[in-house]
Amino acid sequence: MKEVSFGQYYPVSSFVHKVDPRLKIVCLIAYIVAIFLAKNFYGLAACAFVLILTVAFSRVPVLKVLKAVRGVIVLILFTAALNIFFYRGEGEPYFRWTVFAVYREGLIFSAFLVTRLVLLVTFSSMLTYTTTPVSLCDGLESLLTPLKWIRFPVHALALIMSLALRMIPILSDETERIKSAQMARGADFESGNIVKRIKAMIPILIPLLISAFRRADELGEAMEARCYMGDKKRTKYKKLRFTWRDPIVFLLIGGLVAGVVLLRVYLGGVL
């Protein structure tokens, strides 16, 4: 869990950090839409350009951003293998063995999907790298304000999300401490087959669950001691306000979506 990047905030003062969290959430949604609208490598290149600009102006180290890919490397390899060996193209295959065959179209389409997945994961991680959990949940609550008209518990949803994001790095550190303590007692988590390794994780999972429930109970008592009453007549110490940076970001992400649509219309698909 120490390699999990989602939910971790990188504290630094940058252009991206100071963008309104509401706009960041909207930009993430628009970026995801742009990625799935892209049907050729030109569209993905435009998405990659926006990602490079975001990383450059966020001052987050590139290696730290790339760590987000490590969490989904198995999914990436599985997706690549499926498309390489089972995508049927035209002409003679480069390689054939029983039901497996490697076509040119399969290689191209696999590279396209892998690139799309990497861009999606890395840009999503930038949201939590550049936005504190409190700001992120304030932005989400503000965007979902119209749902209060139908009595949807918007504040409760934002609170749950905030607590969940805060618990990710805490549980990550707790897992490492428990694992180190068990290894000091002679536990072996590396050797043996998959069944033995799963059984070896039990001494970690049980203390971790107990610790998580204990922290949740302490948090509940702390909120009750402070007379927390949900969203009844609550005010905010820091109110969200748009600044001069936000129109620039809005125009950039809007131009990305428009450009991807034009590339899709005029250049067609990847194959």
Q: What is the pLDDT of residues 160-201, one digit of tens each?
A: 887 887 787 788 888 888 888 888 887 777 777 777 777 778
Summarised one tens digit per residue, pLDDT across range 229-267 is: 776 667 777 788 888 999 999 999 999 999 999 998 888
Q: What pLDDT is recorded for position 51?
A: 94
Band (pLDDT 50/70/90 cuts) for residue 93 is confident
1-15, 59-73, 97-111: least confident range: 1-15
Across 92-116, b (16+ Cβ under 10 Å) vs e yields eeeeeeeeebbbebbbbbbbbbbbb
Q: What pLDDT is recorded for position 144?
A: 86
Query: For the packed helices 21-37 and 245-267, what is the interaxial angle rounded to 10 degrees?
Result: 10
* 106, pLDDT greater than 50: yes
Select the highest-mean-pLDDT range: 48-52, 84-88, 103-107, 242-246: 48-52
Output phi, psi for 116, to 5 deg: -60, -45
* 53, pLDDT greater than 90: yes
Asked if 123 and 25 count as a contact pair (C-beta separation under 8 A), the reply is: no
Band (pLDDT 50/70/90 cuts) for residue 270 is low
Q: What pLDDT is recorded for position 7?
A: 58
Asked if 6 and 128 count as a contact pair (C-beta separation under 8 A), the reply is: yes
> pTM of the predicted model, to two decimals?
0.81
Q: What pLDDT is recorded for position 1?
A: 46
Q: What pLDDT is recorded for position 98?
A: 76
Distance in angstroms (rounded) separating the CA atoms of residues 163 and 119: 27
* 70, pLDDT greater than 50: yes
* 140, pLDDT greater than 80: yes
100 forms beta bridges with 97
139 burial (CB, 10 Å; 0-12 / 13-18 / 19+) is buried
Select the highest-mean-pLDDT range: 37-41, 62-66, 96-100, 184-188: 37-41
The enclosing H or E element of 95 equals strand 95-97
The arithmetic mean of pLDDT across residues 31-40, rounded, is 93
Q: What pLDDT is recorded for position 30?
A: 95
Distance in angstroms (rounded) separating the CA atoms of residues 5 and 62: 13
